[in-house]
Structure 1
Amino acid sequence: MSVALLAGTAEAQTTIEELVVTAERREQSLQDVPVAVTAFTSEKRDLIGVNTIADLTNFTPGLQYSSQLDRTSLRGVGRLTNVHAADGAVAIYTDGVYNSSTVLSAAKGPIFVDRVEVLRGPQGTLYGRNSIGGAINVISKRPTDEMEAEVRANIANYERTTLEAAISGPTTIQGVNFRLVASWDKQRKGWIENIVPGYPDEGNIVDTKIVEGQLQFEFNENFEGWIGVTLQKWDNGGGGPGSRQTWTPAPYPTYSSVASGLIMNPGYGCSGVPTNVVNASPMGCVNPALTDPRKIASTVPYKVKLNDTVVVTSEWIYHFDDIDLKYITGGTRYHYYLRGPTPADQTAPITSFTLPGGLVINPRYEFDYQEIEQWWSHELNLASTHMGPLQWLAGLYYFHETYDQPVFTEMKSQPQVAGPFGLPNTFCARTFNRCAPNANQRIYDNKPHLDIESYAAFGQIDWEFAETWKLTLGLRYSKDKKYGYEEVRVLCFAVASCFAAPEVNPVVPGGIPVVDLTQLASVVSSPAPGAPLPKGVSTYTSYDPASGFARRGYDDSWSAVTGTAGLQWEPNDDTMVYGRYSRGYKAGGYRIGIDTVLGAAPFTDEETADAFEIGMKKNFANLQTNVAIFHYTYQNAQVPLTVAATSGGLAQAQSIFYNIPEAISQGFELEAIWQPIDNLQILFNYSYNDAHITESVGTVDPADPAALDKDAKPVGATTTTDVFTAGVPGGGFQRGQNLDGQHLPNAAKNKFAINVNYTWELSGGGAITPSVSYIWRDEQYGSVFNRSYTLSPSWDQIDARITWLAPGEKLKVILWGKNLGDDVGYEGGATGFRRAGVVNRNTLAGQPPINVVQGIASTYPLTPPRTFGIELQYKFF
């Protein structure tokens, strides 16, 4: 828990000691900080088994993290998209430097990190950028004055091996110390078995390497500095952020359509014989994932890579009399690469098949997704260091990020997609009826580029105006600017809606439908010259005849004044009570790239939150408790939605950003550590979080656009015809809904964890410490539409560890196991989606289509299965 500093000696294994944190940018005892903070030292992480960010969520009230999507939320305030044109809501700081990726910073193990501090609630003054939900502060282990060295080896099931080493100490240069750390983590067998012979398993197939070097300088008694450089490389298979870690179980909808109207059993990894569209022969297809979350059948392997990734952090301090001048700077060069199957339910071990008429279909769609980013920040601050009732801190901040986020879907096994395309072509009227060739055979291709700049000035004072009372006031001004462009091209190949198209490929006798959709108004937003542009869009859509891409520009800015006001009462050394108001802000942005096609409403306004919190931190003789009660008013939560295509034909679904006008997040949190007898500790935390929408009317559910679900609350008149539900009672329309009372996504209402550990001190020296943890998490929704198909059930988990510390305290051996019951757990709420919407079973010329409503499927983000292993740690000095 956050309230104990557990040293690495046998004597102190279960001693309640003071924990010093820097949550308010200066060193303080955790019990004196008037903010809800959970902190983990490296020793504590080893003791209770906090090795991953997911483990961090188990022991931190209100914290939720998706390891597949690298998204974090606190108390229901979080990120719902990976589009970098929209920011995260929980700020990640590594040694004082902002990082937009949680996994790059917080995923490093105890050999790298001295402690992790999770600050809950808006941190709008000192951690201003995107800290509307809170902040995670990662503090590295620093170089030491004396020589230290250690090695660690962890061997686990699923053929996983982790090797780590660190060395630290003085250099031959006076006043210069160093630290060097390296880690290699490799897992060869996946958590998810692929039943297709010759194709790899998935689920945490990883090969990751981290090397970190640090130098610390003490030039004289007034001037000191520090710099750290981290290199990271991933060469993973089906493992790491972005890879498959979800489950879409039975019951599936009855039908699922794929290219050319071929009907197959639904679900990703369908293995078997497709149904003939003419004679409707039986479907001979069994999907192993129908009943088993740890099995798939896939012929398109995942690849997850991280190349050329460098993280630099640096801090320079000059100590004046009573004032410190500090300059913090650093940044990241980051190149993430993901490749895999898409759509997931069309992946099958079928190399090809022939339709009536001779068309050969190779049903292998693969996607390629990248994040190519660079960001750098500068912070200059002045802080008082004198003794006295008034303490203050003031600073300036600048941040700049440049990113490209290209994504495409290709059909390398389908040569017709490359062209040449027939002429003249009315679908390419904007490029003089000539469709550009498509040599790379991409069905969907999107290339966004954006620059992001942030400026801020901030200050905070702490005034002890009476012996037991302290007043805190803080203020911050922030301005954010985002500008760039997006290019996209979309083609349609051999699907039912393309068969009637006039565009044909002359290479194959009889013609094959390949339609360029880029220039259609039903696909790409393209206001006429002189017409109003969508908000945030800076240029009209243009079309390149050579490449076939549509392009438009973006440019907008946001600003806000945020701050904090708090009152703190310390009647004695063991009690601190505080009340605090904080205002948080997160810049607006755009939904561009990934799955968009220049939609009509890409812009989103900024988010704000007004948060009130009352807390108490109390030390008893053998019990330490931290309690917090909070209430937020949360405005303009940014929710990405896909407006379903409902008219059939060539219309495409449109991706938009929607601002929820108002929501509430309120609750109660308790963290405690109890030592009833010597050497026995019981660590406990519990959180209650009621995060729900109070105002939102007219939003359309992408999974249920006609609002037919029994829990839907349709409002107003119908807006759009929905041919896919025509004939169904109440169907035939697209309708908005009233979301009042709906829970915010990924916010479990109740969550608790308990750890019990006991240390036996051995007569010959050393100690043995068994440690058992129980974690339980309530059900949670994955969408603002609280439906049965977006609800993940509650779940629990038991972890256990036995640590042997050898005499002399140089060797430590840990036997560990996680999820000992091999239970299915859920990282977040489920995603509900309407299948392709319709099956057109009559795709032959002259035959009218037959619409079949398919229903809604649910996809659940899963936690790992049972894992166990042994870890050896040895300290040389």
Structure 2
Amino acid sequence: MKSDMKKINKNILSVSIASAMAVASAPQVLAEDLLLEEIVVTAQKRAQSLQDVPISISAMDGEKMSEVGISNLEDMSAYVPNFQQANSPLGQIISIRGISSGINQGFEQSVVQYFDDIAMGRGPMARTPLFDLERVEILRGPQNVLFGKNSIGGAISVTTAKPTDEFEGSVQVDYEPTFGRNEVQAVVSGGLTDDLYARLAVRSASDDGYYENTTTGDDEQQKEELTARLTLAWEPADDLSATLKLEHSSFDFEGMGSELIGGYDSAAGASYTEALDALAASTGLDIGEGEGTSNLERQTSFGEHSDNESNQIVLTVNKDYDNFTLTSVTGYIGYEYEELTDGDMTGYDMLEIHSNEEFDQFSQEIRFTSPGGETVDWIAGAYFQTWDLDYGQEVPSGEDNVFSAISAQAALGIPAATGFDPSNPANVYPYYGVNPLLVAANPAIASGLFAYSLVEGENTSSLRNYKGTSDTYSVFGQATWNYSEELRFTFGARYTLEEKDAERDLAIYDISGGGYAPASAGALAMQSTVFGTQPHAVEGDRREESVTGSAIVEWDATAEMMVYASVSNGFKAGGFDARASSPDNFEYEDESVITYEIGTKTELMGGRGELNAALFYSDYSDLQVSQFDGSVSFAVGNAAAAVSQGIELDGRFMITPELMLIGSMAYLDFSFEEYEDGACPSKVTLDTSAISCDYSGKPATFAPEWTASITLDYQRPLSDLINLRMTMDTSYRSEQYIEATLDPYLLQDSETNFNARIALESEQWMVALVGKNLTDNDSYSYGYSAPLSGSSFIGAPSFIGHQVRPRSYTIQVKYNF
């Protein structure tokens, strides 16, 4: 550890040369004084200047997000150091400092989103669009005192815009012709009575997508999104206020945003698709076709789609008393979706996945907050949350598919001298699984007989259902002792009791008659041996208690510099695997972390600039991980230990009254200290037969060593009525793994990205041209193994990837009234 920390310290000087980015909108300035406008955040549950918060935090305001076309967390990845959000057809992943939760419906995220103080810890909630916001705050490191639960890797706090007392409104239209993207946002806000105010915001968006499906002729992933939010604010007295938010969203997708991008050749020198094409030719079966190259072309044929709906209801009440403010936050969130995914992402008839999920959550938080500015400033409260989750998945298999072709090829290759008759079930069934005597006598024949058994997968369907519930109770408190004007001490703690129970069942059926009949013994044996799919019904419950806390010391070293040091620990409860195919993979354990951080918040040149820095070291135990098993499912487990350490800088500087520089830079060193039983890359398994691999000393996915970004914002009046504004964003990210088994094929190269915007603005209207990904990077944000490509049947391990959006230009028009 000491050598690693020396390596970090050695880089601090070179890193600090670059300005960093507090990722806020380019602020209005007092030109005569060249003063930055204060950024106000609520990271500690009270309004504070960002420069007074002893946390590594980035903040972006809603206006900036709207201007540059940020409508989701994935778009924010280029602007925030040590933060990424990646989408795949199977789920969403949010990562801060290399810490994330993998893809599994049983997981709650290690980086939790909070919308208006309501925890949204499920992966599908990352699809929630971002619009009409006050700001987004990204807090790095464990946030397990003042935030609800499980925020062991960090927190994303989203604050939506509130009603105004004066009438105002706006309509903004974004049109991107290259890929047929259209977005309309409309907002109306104002007073209904002397003490009742309302704000209605609506967003409608459509997108033709940037992939071409050469099988269907459609552009994909086509999107239709609609969100409506009504916020009511009631202020019947000076010391009492209430806000009610009602929000409904629907977002429907046709097709998926991924493709087969290539991989390793087989021992015979054939690629994955070439091997399958040869298989089809030799057997005479029509099993589809595919290209297997990275060219933004897909060949899926199952009619992929995803239909999603979500709802939010949040009631926030504030009552001021002489010595404190009482805050009540009551929230309901729920979502449901139904989707069909071509699991192999090819035009071959192989893996069709039907999924549906329904989630409901209710939470209640009570907080007591002191007025601030006292010798001791404090906050205390209690929190309750309950949720229910239902998940179902069906994987049907018809006739004449890839498995049928493998079976037919195997039957052709079995020597007649063995006396094996493929048409006689009595000859077939003894060879399902591994027959030691046959393997010893003739491994080639054994392999052929084993492959032939795939025919038993025709006209079968595997169905799994998962139901989970959770109740969480916690109390928390934090106090800051203002020892002097220059020195402050903060201590906080949260006690949490979490109870979970879950049940999961998996069954395999014969669907040849159009219904669901018990599967044959051969089908059950084939599913178990080839896919590891074992019929089962399991259930369990957990009860966990934890105490998490933090201690912070702040020192105003000078009038312009605040220095802080903190230590905190975090906890994320264990749970139950919703997707595994074996009863052995059902329960996983809790994870924990202890983090040390030293940082500074510095004002430069009398308020003309700011530069903030944070040096951190986080030691994780039993980190929860999810890895694709190379066939049809993901395996969930706990890595023994991991360390995330590094440095983050951010800042902004007023170069002239017209030109603002905003920037960030981060260095990250993440490695698993102990992780001996991870799933091997499919290429390794194929070559060595090893199933588990030692990942000790290796990095995680989405953990690039270096990230940086710079924004230049220039604005000047062209006349008394019209302003010119030009913005350029540049971001850099070093190489990183984007696939859980760290296969070198999916080691993403370093990349630099450019975005730019030029606008003409007046008080009532705005016209702008926005260019994104101007370097036209063709990098991938996520990847995973193509099902069965690395099996002994095919022998050409290949991969599926989600490519970032290519270069695009958007026309923006906005009218304020």
TM-score, scaled relative to structure 2: 0.83
1:152 match:
172
Amino acid of the structure 2 residue aligned with 1:193: E
Contact map agreement 1:525 1:599 (CA 8 A) in 2: no
2:251 match:
234
Distance 1:291 1:248, change over 3 A: closer
2:600 match:
616
In terms of mean alpha carbon deviation, does 664-673 or 584-593 score higher?
A: 584-593
1:767 match:
723
Amino acid of the structure 1 residue aligned with 2:737: Y
Deviation at 1:829, TM superposition (A): 6.2
Contact map agreement 1:798 1:818 (CA 8 A) in 2: yes
* Structure 1 residues 403-453: Cα deviation after superposition (integer angstroms, max 9, x where no partner): 1111112246789x9xxxx999999xxxxxxxxxx9x96522111111112
1:324 match:
325
1:669 match:
648
- Cα distance in 2 for residues equivalent to 1:163 and 1:452: 38
1:849 match:
none
1:741 match:
697
1:82 match:
104
Contact map agreement 2:712 2:729 (CA 8 A) in 1: yes
Deviation at 1:161, TM superposition (A): 1.2
- Cα distance in 2 for residues equivalent to 1:830 and 1:597: 18
- Cα distance in 2 for residues equivalent to 1:606 and 1:65: 23
1:692 match:
671
The alignment status of 1:72 with 2:94, answered yes or no, reads yes
- Structure 1 runs (4+) greater than 6 angstroms displaced: 8-12, 283-286, 412-415, 422-427, 504-507, 511-514, 518-526
Amino acid of the structure 1 residue aligned with 2:261: T
Deviation at 1:302, TM superposition (A): 1.8
In terms of mean alpha carbon deviation, does 818-827 or 681-690 score higher?
A: 818-827
1:245 match:
258
List runs of 5+ in structure 2 lacking aligned partners.
1-20, 404-423, 431-455
2:118 match:
97
Picking from 175, 197, 202, the partner of 2:195 is 175
Deviation at 1:250, TM superposition (A): 5.0
Secondary structure in structure 2 of the residue aligned to 1:515: helix
Contact map agreement 1:585 1:608 (CA 8 A) in 2: yes
- Cα distance in 1 for residues equivalent to 2:622 and 2:168: 50
The alignment status of 1:857 with 2:811, answered yes or no, reads no
Distance 1:285 1:11, change over 3 A: farther
The alignment status of 1:516 with 2:524, answered yes or no, reads yes
- Cα distance in 2 for residues equivalent to 1:832 and 1:564: 43
1:588 match:
574
Deviation at 1:202, TM superposition (A): 1.2
- Cα distance in 2 for residues equivalent to 1:11 and 1:377: 46
Distance 1:447 1:15, change over 3 A: farther
Distance 1:148 1:120, change over 3 A: same
- Cα distance in 1 for residues equivalent to 2:773 and 2:468: 42
Amino acid of the structure 2 residue aligned with 1:777: R
In terms of mean alpha carbon deviation, does 209-218 or 669-678 score higher?
A: 669-678
Picking from 508, 511, 514, the partner of 1:490 is 508
- Cα distance in 1 for residues equivalent to 2:126 and 2:282: 51
Secondary structure in structure 1 of the residue aligned to 2:373: coil
Amino acid of the structure 1 residue aligned with 2:475: A
Amino acid of the structure 2 residue aligned with 1:290: T
Deviation at 1:335, TM superposition (A): 0.6
Deviation at 1:235, TM superposition (A): 2.6
Distance 1:164 1:369, change over 3 A: same
Distance 1:470 1:757, change over 3 A: same
Picking from 450, 472, 495, the partner of 1:477 is 495
- Cα distance in 1 for residues equivalent to 2:373 and 2:28: 33
Contact map agreement 1:612 1:632 (CA 8 A) in 2: yes
- Cα distance in 2 for residues equivalent to 1:269 and 1:374: 45
Distance 1:265 1:492, change over 3 A: farther
Picking from 119, 135, 139, the partner of 1:115 is 135
Amino acid of the structure 2 residue aligned with 1:744: A
The alignment status of 1:212 with 2:229, answered yes or no, reads yes
Distance 1:10 1:24, change over 3 A: closer
Secondary structure in structure 2 of the residue aligned to 1:516: helix
Output aligned runs, 1:362-761, within 5 Å.
363=349, 365-411=351-397, 443-490=461-508, 515-517=523-525, 550-593=536-579, 596-621=580-605, 622-641=608-627, 656-701=635-680, 703-704=682-683, 706=685, 731=688, 733-734=689-690, 736-761=692-717
Distance 1:6 1:774, change over 3 A: closer
* Structure 1 residues 641-693: Cα deviation after superposition (integer angstroms, max 9, x where no partner): 45678xxxxxxx88543211111100011112122222111211111110101
Amino acid of the structure 2 residue aligned with 1:169: G
The alignment status of 1:297 with 2:299, answered yes or no, reads yes
Secondary structure in structure 1 of the residue aligned to 2:245: strand
The alignment status of 1:275 with 2:287, answered yes or no, reads no
Contact map agreement 2:344 2:786 (CA 8 A) in 1: no
Amino acid of the structure 2 residue aligned with 1:165: A
- Cα distance in 1 for residues equivalent to 2:473 and 2:514: 56
Deviation at 1:522, TM superposition (A): 9.3
Distance 1:619 1:449, change over 3 A: same
Deviation at 1:392, TM superposition (A): 0.7
Contact map agreement 2:242 2:317 (CA 8 A) in 1: yes
Deviation at 1:872, TM superposition (A): 0.8
- Cα distance in 1 for residues equivalent to 2:200 and 2:29: 24
The alignment status of 1:334 with 2:325, answered yes or no, reads no
Amino acid of the structure 2 residue aligned with 1:191: Y
Secondary structure in structure 2 of the residue aligned to 1:213: strand
The alignment status of 1:817 with 2:801, answered yes or no, reads no
* Structure 1 residues 270-319: Cα deviation after superposition (integer angstroms, max 9, x where no partner): 8x78634369x9x9997444241x11223223212113x21111211111
- Cα distance in 1 for residues equivalent to 2:513 and 2:147: 57
Amino acid of the structure 2 residue aligned with 1:634: Y
- Cα distance in 2 for residues equivalent to 1:15 and 1:310: 42
Distance 1:700 1:874, change over 3 A: closer
Paired residues, what number? 741
2:62 match:
42
Secondary structure in structure 2 of the residue aligned to 1:249: strand
1:827 match:
781
Contact map agreement 1:64 1:747 (CA 8 A) in 2: no
The structure whose RCO (Cα within 8 Å, separation 6+) is larger is 2
Identity among equivalent pairs (%): 23
Deviation at 1:246, TM superposition (A): 4.6
Amino acid of the structure 1 residue aligned with 2:147: Y
Deviation at 1:55, TM superposition (A): 2.5
- Cα distance in 2 for residues equivalent to 1:782 and 1:557: 34
The alignment status of 1:266 with 2:272, answered yes or no, reads yes
2:313 match:
312
Distance 1:30 1:455, change over 3 A: same
- Cα distance in 1 for residues equivalent to 2:542 and 2:197: 45
Deviation at 1:699, TM superposition (A): 3.7
Secondary structure in structure 1 of the residue aligned to 2:780: coil
- Cα distance in 2 for residues equivalent to 1:163 and 1:30: 32
Distance 1:246 1:654, change over 3 A: closer
Deviation at 1:607, TM superposition (A): 0.7
In terms of mean alpha carbon deviation, does 133-142 or 86-95 score higher?
A: 86-95
The alignment status of 1:193 with 2:147, answered yes or no, reads no
Distance 1:8 1:490, change over 3 A: farther
Amino acid of the structure 1 residue aligned with 2:465: K
Amino acid of the structure 2 residue aligned with 1:312: I
List runs of 5+ in structure 1 lacking aligned partners.
257-263, 349-362, 428-437, 494-503, 527-548, 646-652, 707-724, 840-852
Contact map agreement 1:268 1:297 (CA 8 A) in 2: no
Contact map agreement 1:567 1:579 (CA 8 A) in 2: yes
